[in-house]
Structure formats: C-alpha cells, structure tokens
Amino acid sequence: MDGGRERGNKNDEEGEERETEVLGVSKHTKQIYWSNLGTPALTSASEMRERRREAKCSVTFTAASDMLRDKPIIIMRFMDSLHHPFGIGLLFAIVLFFLRVLNASSEQSSRCQDNKEAEVNRKKETQAAIRIQCWFRACRVRTYIRHLNKKAIIIQKAWRGFAARAHVRQMVKAAYFTMKMNFYNDMAVRIQKTWRGFYYRTYIHYFYARKRYLQQILMKNELLRKELDEIEKAQTREKEYLEATKEQKMKAYQAYRLHHLISTKQVPGVFNSPYRQDPEEMELLLRQVRYQVPTSRVRRDSGCLRGRCDSMGLSFSGPPESQSISTKTRELRTRLPPIGSKKGKAKITQTVKFCIGEVEIYTSAYECVHESVND
Amino acid sequence: MSQRLIIQVFEQYQKSRLQFVQTVADLATRPQNSEILHNAGVMPMLRSLLLDTVPSIQQTAALALGHLANQSDNLAEAVVKEDILPQLVHSLASQNRFYKKAAAFVLRAVATHSPELAQAVVSCGGVDALVLCLEEFDPGVKEAAAWALGCISRHNASLSQAVVEAGAAPLLVLCLMEPEMALKRIVASTLSDICKHTPELAQTVVDNGAIAHLAQMILSRDAKLKRQVFSALSQISKHSISLAEMVVEAEVFPAAFISLNDPDDYVRKNVATLMREVAKQTPELSQLIVNSGGLSKVIDYLGETHGQLRLPGIMMLGYVAAHNESLAMAVILCKGVPQLALCLSEENEQHIKSATVWSLDQIGHHSPEHAKVVAAANLLPKLLGLYMDTSSSEDLQAKSKKALKNILQKCTLVPALEPLLYDAPSNILKHVVCQFSKVLPHDSKARRLFVTSGALKKVQEIDAEPGSALQEYINAINNCFPEEIVRYYSPGYSESLLQRLEGYQPEDSLNTPPAPPTEGQQT
C-alpha cells in the first residue's frame, strides 16, 4: 500500500501539476488539502488505475480475498466513503472492481477466456472508466475550488470589515469636523451680519441722516431765498435813492444856471405865477441857491476825467468814489468859462474830442452827464 | 521880416497839416468813408504824419489810423502792410500819454479782427510796448493798453502765452486795484480772455493773486464790472479742481448768489456759468453749492429767463445731479424736474434741448425713486418724441435715446411705462418690456391694470425673434398671467376658434340637434 501510495503520489504529482495549472492554486495547498483529507482508502484515480492493473495480474487475488474476508470493515469504510464527496464514484469503482474480482476468482482456470472476455469489454470499460475518472476529477476540482472560495470569502470578509470600519471612523471624524465648521461659520455670519448692518447704517448710508440732510437743504434754500430777497429790496431801494439824488442834483444845477429867473420883489418870476397860491418848486429851489460869481478861467484839465465837487450851497458832491458813474463822463465843470473867450471854448471842444477810441462824448462844455457805452 | 515870413510859412504848413489830419480823423469815424479814404491812399499819408514833429498831429494821425483799422479787416491788413506797426511800437516808448492812448487804440483795432493780425502785432513787439504802457500812471493809458492786450489774447492760446510771457499778468492784477471803474472792467475782461485757454495760463494769473481782487469786486454795484468778474472767475475755475477750489476758498459763493437777482441778464448768466464750472469739478464742490442753498436760486433763475441765458443753469443742474444720488435727490426736492420739463417744452433751440435732456438723464438714472419722479412728470413720451422726431439734430437724438434707456432701466412706474408700449421702436421697446417683466410678477394690481388697459394685447402683438432678449421678457410677462387670458389676447385667437368650429362635428347628427354655433368668440 505504501509503495502503491508512493507511486500514486508520483502520479498524483503529475495530475496535480495539471490540476494546479488549471486551477491556479499552488501545489502546496493542494497537497495540504489532500493530506488533510486523511482517508487512506482509494483516493486517487491513478491509484485506481494501478488497482486495475493489479486486477489484471493475479497478485490482486489475495488482496481481493482479504477484502472479502474483512467485509464488515469494508462496508464501514464504504459508508464513510459514501459521505465522502467522491463517494458515489468510489462506490461505482469498487463495485466494478468487486465484480471483476469475483469474476476473476471464479474463473481462474479459464484465464484465456477471461482475457478474451476482458478484451471484448475492454473498450467499453475503458470508456466507462474514463468517464468515471473525468467526473471524479471534476468533483475533486470543484471541491477544491469551493474550499478556496470559502476561505477567500472569509479573508475578504475580514479585510473588508476592517477597511470599512477604518473608513467609517475617518468619515465620522470628517463629518464631525464639518459640522463644527458649519456651526462656526454660521455664528460668524451672524456676527458679521449684525456688524455690517450696524456699520453701513451708521456710516455709509444712514437713511435718517440723509433725510435730515435733504430737509436741511430745503430749509437752507428757503432761508437763502428770503435773505436774497431782502438784499434785493435793499439794493433797489438804494438804487432808487441814488436816482432820486441824481435827479435832485440835476434840478439844483438847473436852478443854479437859471438863477436869473428868480422872482424879484417887483416882478414875479416865471416859476412864481401870481395865479397860483404857492410858488412852484423850481422857484423855491431858485430861492435856495447861493450864487457865486465865477472868478477865474476854466482849467483845461482834459486829462483828468474825474469829476470834482463844486463849492456851492447845494452840495453837488456825490459819493466820494466814482463807482456809480463812469469815469468817462464829464461831471460838472468846476468853473464856468468867462463868456467872452472863444479861444477857451475852442480849446475845450478840442480837448473834449481827444478821447479814447470810439468813446466820444458829445458834450458841449455846459451840459451835464452823458454816459457812453463802454463795452 | 524874412524870419517872420519863413516862420509863417512853417506855421501855415503846420496848420494845414493839422486840419488835414483832423478832418481825416473825423471822416474815418464813419464806415462809409473808410473805403474811399483807403482808395485815396490815406495810409501812406498817415504813416508819414505819424512821424510829424508836432505832437498833436501825431496823436490825431494815430487816432485816425485807429478808426480806420477798426472798420474792417482789409484796412487793418493795410495798416499792417504799410509797416506802420513797428513805427508805432517804437515811438510808443517815448511819447506822451495821449499818443500812447492813441497808439494802443490802433494796436487794439488791428488785433481785434483775426489771429493773424494779432500775431502781426505780437511779432513787431507790440506786446512789450503795451506792457510798458501798463506801468504808466495815467488810467486812460492803462485802460487802452489792457484793452489791446485783451483783444490780442482773445484769439488763441499761443497769443495769450505771448502776452503772459511779456509779464502782463502781475501788472494787470495791479491795475485791478485801481479805483477807476472802466479800468477795472477792461482788466477783468482781459484776465478772463487770458485765462480761458489753458490751465497753465489760468494758474499764472492766479499765482499773481487775481482771485482775491476779483472776489472783492463781486460786491460792487456796477453791472458791467460784475459781468467781467464772473466771467473771469468761471474761466479760471473751469480748468481744474485745484483752481476751482481756490476760487471757492475766496468765499465767492454765498456772495455770488446775490448777483443771481441782478437786473442785468449777463451778470446772471455769468454767475450761472461760474456755478456750473465749479459744480462740474467734484462732488464736494457741488455739495458746497447745494448746502449754501444755491439750487433754489438756480431754479428760480431758470424760471425767470428765456432762451440762450438758460443754458448754464440747465447744465449746472445736470452736473450737480450727475455726481451722486443724494445730490440728485436734492435737485428733485428743490423742484428741479418740473422746471426742466418747462424748459424742454418752451425752448426751441436744439442745443438747449439737448442740454435739458442730458440733465434729465443725469437726474433720473440713479435709482427707481429718481426715475419715478422723472416719469411722473410725463417726460418719457416727450423724450420718445424727441428721439423719433426726424427734425431733431443728431446730438439731440443720441442724447434722448441715452436718456430714455437709462431712465427706463430704473423706472418701475407702470402707468408711465404703458404709453411707451404703443409708440416705441424696438430698441426702446426692449427696455420697456424688460421693466414690465420685472414689475408685473410682484404686483397684482399692476397686473390687473395691465390687462384692462389693453397693454397685454399690445405685448402679444409684438413680433420678436425667438431667442432674443425681447422674447424672453415677453415670455416672462406671459408667465404672470393665466394661460387662458394670454390666449384670449393673442392675435388671431378669433380665427383659431373659428377653425376649431369648422373641424367640429356633433357626435350623433341624427338624434341630437346640431350644436349651436359658438358665440362670443366671434369678435
């Protein structure tokens, strides 16, 4: 048996090599597998072949008879091997063997006959044996694969559990972290929101300040309008006053020139009609004039365009600054020229004509103010 | 005896020369004589008389020349061609004040007409001679010299530069302090003419302390002086922010408002110009003007004046409102918009209308509040009318289009937007519809109004390319209304209903009576 086993092992190795090529598992595992199985009974197909060969020789007779003698043991082993995966095939093989053995034992003498018979059945039996072996091999491989799968599943299960748990731990940490950050962000937003609202409303766009500002502008506008109206009124009043004084001055000057028309004690003057109750205002003015006899000649001061005050009873002095009257204007002549001197007159008209540009003052020496367009 | 005879001959000659010159001077004052005189060859005569020994003849000759040159360009050119100017300039230094006055008059008369003639005056050294005249004591001479310098610098920047380089600016500012009113006027107008060209010139004038004196003269009574003073200040302040700030620091502003009431129109116009130039520069300066109450005065000014005078006031409002929206709100509160609307309807000049439209644009484009005020004053159809009017100038059309766009983009007042749906061309219509699509989803009353006023119908009739923005807005509007209403108002609904009628067969024509014709949809 051991020798057979060795041989069987060698063949086993060949078969295993083939099988390992097919299955892709290591020879070592296979050996372990097979060694773990532990049934010393007919286990490999090659061993079966050996047995069959042995059955052809007569040496096996004794083995068979031994087996027959130990019938109960055999049957027990059969029961065991039936539970074994290869059970049925084994059974079959053993049945066949048994039959052959029986046949061989009964007809020892007719060996040639047996050989002929064996020859006849050889092909059929070979085929059958091949079939059985094929199936058996398949079973073996399947068992092996199943075993491998199971173990692989166990390994993978353990590994996956481990990896997943690590991953979940990581995810939990990250989720916790994000949760905290979200919370912080929300709180920060709340703070920033309040601050920005406050800041912008006080400093950048303070609505009520703007409203107040616009109202103040309106109030200021009204104030300014009132002020300017007052100023305007004052100005017009002043203008009117100036004009009135001017008129008055003119009248006074006329009175001065027409002084000779004053009424005397004997003869009432032109302005003092006897049919009137009161004398006219001109008459009154005439009476007020304090006449002065002209003493010296006219000063031909044509370069000086500023008017000078007259020393008369009625003050002809206007505002000291000649701001309201153009400097181009000839104001009142200071002294009247003596009536007889033509030379003086001629000279006056000449000097009058010596003026700048188109500003020509068509004044005779005895007229008053004529403003000329300056621009 | 012979001595007396000889002297008599000379005296006679002198008398006749004098008479000739005086007559010519008299004749030269009248325009119709000038051509005849020129053809008679008066120029060489006068030129030789300029070199006469008797001063009065010289002066009268110069005066005559001045009158002649004043009449027309040709004569002025003839004066220049005869090489009279170098002589004048040369003798200016030595003569008495009457001569100087007359010579300055000639230079002015020549320089007034055109830049080339002014350049001729400058190139023969006239400017230096005139600046020398400015140092004289006699105010008449100074006035004549200042006037001549003003006429020279009026034309362009290089001439002004020549005037300033000759050192005229400090002397002119000194002249401002003189008491004579006419001199002050002339000097103010000269400074205004110098400053108007470039910032550097304005800076030179300001560096000599002109602003302080000009500011003092604001309170004077003389209208013409005030005209020139305000004109000078506005020319200075228009160039840059720093110059404007200097003008404002001289405390011009509350005082200037007084002059807005002045009876003289040009004073008011120049004050408005000054305010415009200052308000244009920065928001702070505009704020200053607004805070001191200037807006109401300007609006009153707009109400009182007509025509060309209104232009600076209108532009001032525009510039103030352009800076930021609180200033624009201030303009609105001071009732600027009704006044501007009045201006728009009253004025016929194209450029005044463009300015008004531009100002309205500046006021209205800030926010929906602002746009509401402008729209409520019924201005949008007017703007549209101006845009569509073919007789409007291009500038006016462009400005009204821009104003319409800007205001429409902010306007949410539905009753004001509706009239525009009917008349507007497609590029304006896009904005109108866009505004509707923004307003309608939120306001149910507006939706009701929209439907009942027939605007929904109009919107359906708008033909827009699919995928364009207009189509998107129309879709947005249609989404605000239930589908039946939209279909009811869509064009061709009645036809589609009739078609449905034609395709309709009652189920059992034997037993059931024929279906009555569908009524109500046949409009």
Residue of B261, B297, B300, B333 to mutate when probing chain A, most A C-beta within 10 A: B261
Contacts of B50 (CB under 8 A, 6+ apart): B58, B61, B62, B65, B84, B87, B88, B91
Q: What is the ipTM of this complex?
A: 0.71
Note the pLDDT tens digit of each residue in A146-191: 999 999 999 999 999 999 999 999 999 999 999 999 999 999 999 9
- Smallest CA–CA distance, residue B334 to chain A, in Å, is 7
- Whole-angstrom Cα distance, residue A219 to residue A263? 63
| pLDDT at residue A17 greater than cutoff 70 | no
Amino acid at B127: V
Residue A179 inside a domain? The answer is yes
Residue A35 inside a domain? The answer is no
Q: Which residues of B438-462 are buried (b: 16+ CB within 10 A; e: fewer)?
A: ebbeeeeebbeebbeeebbebbbeb
Regarding predicted confidence, which is higher, A114 or A139? A139
Residue of A nearest to B326 (CA): A210
The Cα diameter of chain B in Å comes to 158
- Whole-angstrom Cα distance, residue A236 to residue A251? 22
What pLDDT shows up at residue A359? Answer: 36
**Half-sphere exposure of residue B245, counting CA atoms within 13 Å on the CB side?**
6
Q: How far is the first Cα of chain B from the last one, in angstroms, to the nearest whole number? A: 127
* Stretch A39-44: mean pLDDT: 49
Of the candidates A214, A224, A327, which has its C-beta nearest B333's C-beta?
Answer: A214
What is the pTM for the complete model shown?
Answer: 0.65
Residue A232 inside a domain? The answer is yes
- Interface check for B87 against chain A (CB to CB < 8 A): the answer is no
Of A154, A174, A205, the one marking the end of a domain is: A205
A182 and A256 together in one domain: no
- Interface check for B23 against chain A (CB to CB < 8 A): the answer is no
Residue A289 tokens, joined: 């004039």
Please answer yes or no on whether B291 and A225 come within 8 Å at the CB atom: no
What pLDDT shows up at residue A266? Answer: 84
Cβ-contact B80, B117 below 8 angstroms: yes
- The DSSP code sequence of B180-244 is -HHHHHHHHHHHHHHHTS-HHHHHHHHHTTHHHHHHHGGG-S-HHHHHHHHHHHHHHHTS-HHHH
Residue of B57, B180, B289 to mutate when probing chain A, most A C-beta within 10 A: B180
Regarding predicted confidence, which is higher, A236 or A333? A236
Contacts of A40 (CB under 8 A, 6+ apart): A1
Can you give the C-alpha Rg of chain A in angstroms? 77
Please answer yes or no on whether B185 and A375 come within 8 Å at the CB atom: yes
* Chain A residues in contact with B260 (beta carbon < 8 A): 228
Please answer yes or no on whether A322 and B181 come within 8 Å at the CB atom: yes
- Domain of residue A256: give its range: 206-267+278-288
Of the candidates A218, A229, A326, which has its C-beta nearest B333's C-beta?
Answer: A218
pLDDT class for A30, splitting at 50, 70, 90? low
- Whole-angstrom Cα distance, residue A134 to residue B90? 142
In terms of Cα–Cα distance, which of A346, A343, A347 is closest to A300?
Answer: A347
Residue A198 inside a domain? The answer is yes
Please answer yes or no on whether A327 and B181 come within 8 Å at the CB atom: yes
Of A182, A205, A228, the one marking the end of a domain is: A205
A166 and A220 together in one domain: no
What kind and span of H or E run contains B406? Answer: helix B394-410
pLDDT class for A27, splitting at 50, 70, 90? low
In terms of Cα–Cα distance, which of A207, A203, A210, A223 is closest to B330?
Answer: A210
In terms of Cα–Cα distance, which of B367, B370, B377, B368 is closest to B339?
Answer: B377
Residue A261 inside a domain? The answer is yes
Please answer yes or no on whether A223 and B293 come within 8 Å at the CB atom: yes
A221 and A283 together in one domain: yes
Regarding predicted confidence, which is higher, A180 or A294? A180
Residue B179 tokens, joined: 């008491």
A215 and A283 together in one domain: yes
- Interface check for B230 against chain A (CB to CB < 8 A): the answer is no
What pLDDT shows up at residue B263? Answer: 83
Residue A100 inside a domain? The answer is no
A197 and A145 together in one domain: yes
Q: Which residues of A222-248 are buried (b: 16+ CB within 10 A; e: fewer)?
A: eebbeebeeeeeeeeeeeeeeeeeeee
A153 and A219 together in one domain: no
- The DSSP code sequence of A175-219 is HHHHHHHHHHHHHHHHHHHHHHHHHIIIII--HHHHHHHHHHHHH
* Residue listed under structure tokens 């003639």: B117
Regarding predicted confidence, which is higher, B143 or A52? B143
Of the candidates B70, B258, B293, which has its C-beta nearest A221's C-beta?
Answer: B293
pLDDT class for A245, splitting at 50, 70, 90? very high
Note the pLDDT tens digit of each residue in A359-369: 333 333 333 33
- Interface check for B106 against chain A (CB to CB < 8 A): the answer is no
Residue of B nearest to A220 (CA): B293
Note the pLDDT tens digit of each residue in B26-61: 888 888 888 888 888 888 888 888 888 888 888 888
Length of chain B in residues, anyone?
523
Which CA distances in Å does B54 have to A344, B24, B45, B104, B107? Answer: 21, 17, 15, 19, 21
Of A288, A320, A351, the one marking the end of a domain is: A288
- Smallest CA–CA distance, residue B66 to chain A, in Å, is 8
Q: How far is the first Cα of chain A from the last one, in angstroms, to the nearest whole number? A: 151
Please answer yes or no on whether B293 and A213 come within 8 Å at the CB atom: no
- Interface check for B367 against chain A (CB to CB < 8 A): the answer is no
- Smallest CA–CA distance, residue B141 to chain A, in Å, is 9
* Chain B residues in contact with A224 (beta carbon < 8 A): 254, 257, 292-294, 296-297
Residue of A nearest to B142 (CA): A356
| pLDDT at residue A116 greater than cutoff 50 | yes
* Stretch B287-294: mean pLDDT: 87
A234 and A160 together in one domain: no
* Chain A residues in contact with B297 (beta carbon < 8 A): 221, 224-225, 228
Residue B360 tokens, joined: 């309205």
In terms of Cα–Cα distance, which of B92, B181, B177 is closest to B131?
Answer: B92
- Smallest CA–CA distance, residue A332 to chain B, in Å, is 18
- Whole-angstrom Cα distance, residue B188 to residue B182? 10
* Stretch B136-148: mean pLDDT: 89
- Interface check for B222 against chain A (CB to CB < 8 A): the answer is yes
- Smallest CA–CA distance, residue A370 to chain B, in Å, is 15
Helix, strand and coil percent figures for chain B, each rounded to 5:
80, 0, 20
Residue of A211, A212, A224 to mutate when probing chain B, most B C-beta within 10 A: A224
What 3-state class would DSSP assign to B468?
A: coil
pLDDT class for A77, splitting at 50, 70, 90? low
A195 and A211 together in one domain: no
Cβ-contact B211, B250 below 8 angstroms: yes
What pLDDT shows up at residue A237? Answer: 92
* Chain B residues in contact with A324 (beta carbon < 8 A): 221-222
Residue B115 tokens, joined: 């830049």
Q: Where are the beta strands (DSSP E) in A82-140?
A: none
Of the candidates A224, A322, A328, which has its C-beta nearest B297's C-beta?
Answer: A224
Of the candidates B182, B224, B261, which has its C-beta nearest A228's C-beta?
Answer: B261
* Chain B residues in contact with A321 (beta carbon < 8 A): 179
Can you give the C-alpha Rg of chain B in angstroms? 36
* Chain A residues in contact with B97 (beta carbon < 8 A): 303
Q: Which residues of A196-221 are buried (b: 16+ CB within 10 A; e: fewer)?
A: eeeeeeeeeeeeeeeeebbeebbebb
Domain count, chain A: 2
pLDDT class for A374, splitting at 50, 70, 90? very low
A236 and A284 together in one domain: yes
A211 and A282 together in one domain: yes
CB neighbourhood size of A338 (10 A): 12
Lowest mean pLDDT among B103-112, B126-135, B450-459: B450-459
Of the candidates A323, A327, A328, which has its C-beta nearest B221's C-beta?
Answer: A323
A187 and A220 together in one domain: no
A220 and A231 together in one domain: yes
Residue A66 inside a domain? The answer is no
| pLDDT at residue B462 greater than cutoff 70 | yes
* Residue listed under structure tokens 């939706």: B447
Residue A253 inside a domain? The answer is yes
Note the pLDDT tens digit of each residue in B162-206: 888 888 888 888 888 888 889 999 999 999 999 989 999 899 888
Please answer yes or no on whether B181 and A217 come within 8 Å at the CB atom: no
Please answer yes or no on whether A225 and B300 come within 8 Å at the CB atom: yes
* Stretch A299-303: mean pLDDT: 46
Residue of A228, A304, A352, A371 to mutate when probing chain B, most B C-beta within 10 A: A228
* Stretch B135-139: mean pLDDT: 86
Amino acid at B211: I
pLDDT class for A47, splitting at 50, 70, 90? low
* Cα-Cα-Cα-Cα dihedral sign, residues A51, A55, A58, A63: positive
Long-range CB pairs of A77-80 (<8 Å, 24+ gap) are A77/A41, A80/A39, A80/A41
